[in-house]
Chains A and B, each alone.
Chain A
Amino acid sequence: MSLWDHHLILLPILLPMVMASAMLLFDERRRRLKSIISLTAMAAILLVALALLHESMTGAADGGDTARVYRLGGWNAPFGIVLVADRLSAMMVALTSVLGAGVLAFALARWDRAGPRFHALFLFLIMGVNGAFLTGDLFNLFVFFEIMLAASYGLALHGSGEARIRAGLTYIAINLTASLLFLIGVSLLYGVTGTLNMAEFALKVRTIAPDDRGLLHVGAAILGTAFLIKCAAWPLGFWLAPTYTAASAPSAAAFAILSKVGVYVVLRLSLLAFGDDAGASAHFGQSWLLVMGLATLAFGTLGLIASRDLSRAGAYAVMVSSGTILAVAGVGDKAVLGGALFYLIGSTLACGAMFLLAEVLQRGVDSGAQRERAVFDDEYRDPFDDDERNEPGLVIPAAVAALGGAFLICTLMIAGLPPLSGFIGKLAMLDALARSLAPASIAVIVGLSLSSLGGLIGLTRLGVGALWARDEDAPELVVGAAELAGMGGLLAACVLLALFGGAGLGFAEHTAEWLGRPDAYIRAVLGATP
């Protein structure tokens, strides 16, 4: 056990990769086999993430926090590539696997038949996301980013149709450009500091020559821009709403974690390299994060109110969630960050569930997407226009009650109302912000409160339209058992977060504290020499 235990950190990356590659050998008729493989992989990753999380909380010699470091190929840190699992990474991997399992269960009802190789693409997406969370090397981060994006291009187009292709074209062009910015930023940072290892980079930032500092800041800003495009921060995020609205429901729900990858990297690098110890570079870009976060929050809230269908509202809810965390990162207060991390978990799950719910509620309602006739009818047709595929399996009675309940939970989570965990996270943030009452804190308090109000108004209006005041010619609501299980799983996780809110919030606050002391991370990666 102890021999293999050492390699545990590889599993969240290797497992989906091996499973997805193996799946390519079977043809599309082996759906049951593929479903079982992908669900097993997600469950295994969740267990591994929990084990890593447990170790990151108790693994140090004195029983405190630590970061597990894995040296790939046995090369020591600044020269070789390392994987690092600390509290934040393990938390994000666990969140990914919970979201992934819920989305997969939902997709098993019918969406995985809408196009080829859904399961393989989905697992590659998970592999890229997990890799981005676990890597401790800037260029390796780029590689995992690209794996994640390549899989997401396939998933964005899953189910085909003109609307998806048009949105996918923009999405791919924007992300390719962002990747180029990423490369420019990484190579500039390498040119200035001579390292790609995040921990060593953080050390080099402290002692860099004053002449080079300008170039370092340029590199960091360009790199940050690439991640802010991924977070959909205003004004870099106009691509998000059309893409997520057009994407099939399971893809959009899985994409809820993609913008969090951008958020994660921004948090990780700004706290690691540009924290209190960074000398003249301390808190570099923090005011930008604050301003862009607040602008994203405002834009997302307005978009949510203006949305006329639920999946678009879900896309704007993703932006609201990114904006909240970026604004909080801009305030730079550890206590506030703790609340934000707790909020991140709940809001990601709720946004994912919202996309799934939106698809069920809007099923059969003509959204205008298919109105224009496709040129190649056989190639780009609505995958569900024949009856045999349209059957979502075992149908749950009282669908309206179940969907109404699910919608209620989603709304409470996204708007951040009691008694669910969205409220606990928001309250923790507001409480910590109210303690300092600096102008920045007041701006964030106002932003958070207004976004809650806007979210509540927008989602209530859409919910009334979708559940109570349905068009007479809209088809009756049906929901498959697998679909309900997927959504229910995500929402149950939200409810559990509220039930164990004290422990969860304590964990998040502890994580924020750990992130505020980057020396422990750096020491773990670089060994004894700090």
Chain B
Amino acid sequence: MTEFVLAAAIGVLSAAGTWLLLRPRTFQVIMGLSLLSYAVNLFIFSMGRLRSGTPPITAKGAERPELYADPTPQALVLTAIVISFALTALFLVVLLASRGATGSDHVDGREPAE
């Protein structure tokens, strides 16, 4: 059941993210990128296999891998979250600059001809 919920969540997030990414307004693009990065973060997490109630750090004298969750994907997710957060913020600044410079929030910098 957990697997299904997680897979569905990743699927819905990435589908919505991809759709938004292909939309013509810059704000939609940035929302799409955010949703996609959530989907990717969940995906990385799931690559460490799904275990509940298991700590990621071994205790001395009890080094049995089956008792513990894989800590590597958790570390990777943490890094990925930080990086994607920073770059989304940077993208937001460029988005505002583009709005200021072109007077349009279209990704091409100008409104399409009617």
B94 touches A172 (CB 8 A): yes
Q: In residues 126-165 of chain A, which contact B (Cβ within 8 Å)?
A: 139, 142-143, 146, 149-150, 153, 157, 161-162, 165
Chain B contact surface mostly? helix
A146 touches B107 (CB 8 A): no
Say whether A180 faces chain B, with CB atoms less than 8 Å apart.
Answer: yes
Tell whether A380 is near chain B: CB-to-CB under 8 Å. yes
- For chain B, residues 42 to 74, give those with C-beta under 8 angstroms from any C-beta of chain A: 43-44, 47-48, 72-73
Q: Does B108 contact A (CB under 8 A)?
A: yes
Q: Cβ of B94 and Cβ of A169 under 8 Å apart?
A: yes
Task: Name the B residues within 8 Å of A190 (CB-CB).
Answer: 47, 72-73, 76
| CB contact under 8 A between A188 and B102, given known A177-B21, A177-B33 | no
**Interface residue stretch chosen among A67-75, A340-348, A371-379:** A371-379
Taking a contact as CB atoms under 8 Å apart, the answer to whether B40 and A169 are in contact is no
Residue from A150, A183, A380 in contact with B101 in the complex, judged by beta carbons closer than 8 Å: A380
User: Does B21 lie within 8 Å of A169, measured CB to CB?
Assistant: no
Interface string of B73-104 (1 = CB under 8 A from A): 10010011001101110110011011011110
Determine the residue in chain A with the shortest Cβ distance to B45.
Answer: A187
User: A187 vs B42: C-alpha distance in the bound complex, in angstroms?
Assistant: 11
Contact B109 A162 (CB under 8 A): yes
Q: How far is it, in angstroms, between the C-alpha of A179 and the C-alpha of B30 when the chains are bound?
A: 14
User: A184 on the interface (CB 8 Å rule)?
Assistant: yes
Do B94 and A165 have beta carbons less than 8 Å apart? Answer: yes
Q: With contacts A143-B83, A183-B44, A187-B47 known, is A169 near B101, CB below 8 A?
A: no
DSSP class of A's interface residues: helix, strand, loop or mixed? Answer: helix
Interface residues on A, range: 20 to 34
Within 8 A of B (CB), among A165-209: 165-166, 168-170, 172-173, 176-177, 179-180, 183-184, 186-188, 190-191, 196
Q: Is the CB of A169 within 8 A of B87?
A: no
Given the interface contacts A165-B94, A173-B29, does A150 sit within 8 Å of B86 by beta carbon?
Answer: yes
Q: How far is the CA of A162 from the CA of B97 in the complex (A)?
A: 9
Q: Which residue of A lies closest to B96 (CB)?
A: A165
Contact of A376 among B36, B76, B101 (CB under 8 A): B101
Contact A162 B72 (CB under 8 A): no
Q: How far is the CB of A457 from chain B (nearest CB, A)?
A: 31
- Of all chain B residues, the one with the shortest Cβ separation from A138 is B76
B90 touches A169 (CB 8 A): no
What's the nearest-Cβ distance from chain B to residue A219, in Å? 10
- Decide yes or no: A139 and B79 within 8 Å by CB, A180-B37, A187-B44 being known contacts: yes
Known contacts A139-B79, A187-B73, A380-B100, A169 near B26 by CB under 8 Å: yes
CB-nearest residue of chain B relative to A192? B47
Contact of A187 among B21, B29, B43 (CB under 8 A): B43
CB distance from B70 to the nearest CB of A (A): 8
A165: contacting residue among B40, B72, B101, B108, CB under 8 A? B101
The residues of A that contact B102 with a CB separation of less than 8 Å are 162, 165-166, 375
Which residues in window 365-400 of A have CB below 8 A to B?
374-376, 379-380
In the bound complex, what is the Cα–Cα distance between A187 and B37 (angstroms)? 13
Residues of B within 8 A of A153 (CB): 87, 90, 94
Does the CB pair A173–B91 fall under 8 Å? yes
A187 to B44, CA, bound (A): 5
Q: In the complex, which residues of chain A have a beta carbon less than 8 angstroms from the beta carbon of B109?
A: 162, 165-166, 169
Which residues does chain A contribute within 8 Å of B73, judged by CB atoms?
A: 187, 190
Minimal Cβ-Cβ distance residue in A for B91: A172
> A161 CA to B33 CA in the complex, in Å?
25
List which A471-522 residues lie within 8 A (CB) of chain B: none
As a 0/1 sequence over residues 23 to 40 of chain B, the CB contacts with chain A under 8 angstroms (1 = contact) are 000100100010011001
Q: A166-B108, A187-B73 are in contact. Are A379 and B40 (CB under 8 A)?
A: no
CA distance A190 to B43 in the complex (A): 12
List B contacts of A162 (CB < 8 A). 101-102, 109
Complex Cα spacing A139 to B83, Å: 12
Distance in Å: Cβ of A371 to nearest Cβ of chain B: 13
A188, B73: Cα distance in complex, Å: 11
Report Cα–Cα, A179/B103, bound state, in Å.
Answer: 29
A196 contacts across to B, CB distance below 8 A: 72
The reply to whether A166 and B98 form a contact with Cβ atoms under 8 Å apart is: yes
Q: Which residues of A contact B91 (CB under 8 A)?
A: 172-173, 176
Given A169-B26, A176-B91, A184-B40, answer yes or no on A375-B86 (Cβ-Cβ < 8 Å).
Answer: no
Query: A187 to B94, Cβ gap below 8 A?
Result: no
Q: Find chain A residues with CB under 8 A from B37 CB.
A: 180
Contact pick for B87, options A142, A176, A374, CB 8 Å: A176
Task: Establish whether residues A184 and B43, one from each chain, have CB atoms under 8 Å apart when the complex forms.
Answer: yes
How far is A177 from B84 in the complex, measured between Cα atoms in Å?
10
Q: How far is the CB of B11 from chain A (nearest CB, A)?
A: 13
Chain A residues contacting B40 (CB-CB under 8 Å) are: 180, 183-184, 187
**Which residues from chain A contact B21 at a C-beta distance below 8 Å?**
173, 177
> What is B's interface to A at a CB cutoff of 8 Å?
21, 26, 29, 33, 36-37, 40, 43-44, 47-48, 72-73, 76, 79-80, 83-84, 86-88, 90-91, 94-95, 97-98, 100-103, 107-109
What would 11 A/B residue contacts be, using CB atoms closer than 8 Å? A139-B79, A146-B87, A168-B94, A168-B98, A177-B33, A179-B83, A179-B87, A184-B40, A186-B76, A187-B47, A380-B97
Extra pairs beyond A146-B87, A173-B91 (14, CB < 8 Å): A143-B79, A150-B90, A165-B94, A165-B101, A169-B94, A172-B90, A173-B21, A176-B33, A176-B91, A179-B83, A183-B80, A186-B76, A374-B101, A380-B100
Query: Shortest 9 CB-CB distances between A and B: which pairs?
Result: A191-B47, A187-B44, A166-B109, A187-B47, A162-B101, A146-B83, A165-B98, A183-B40, A180-B40
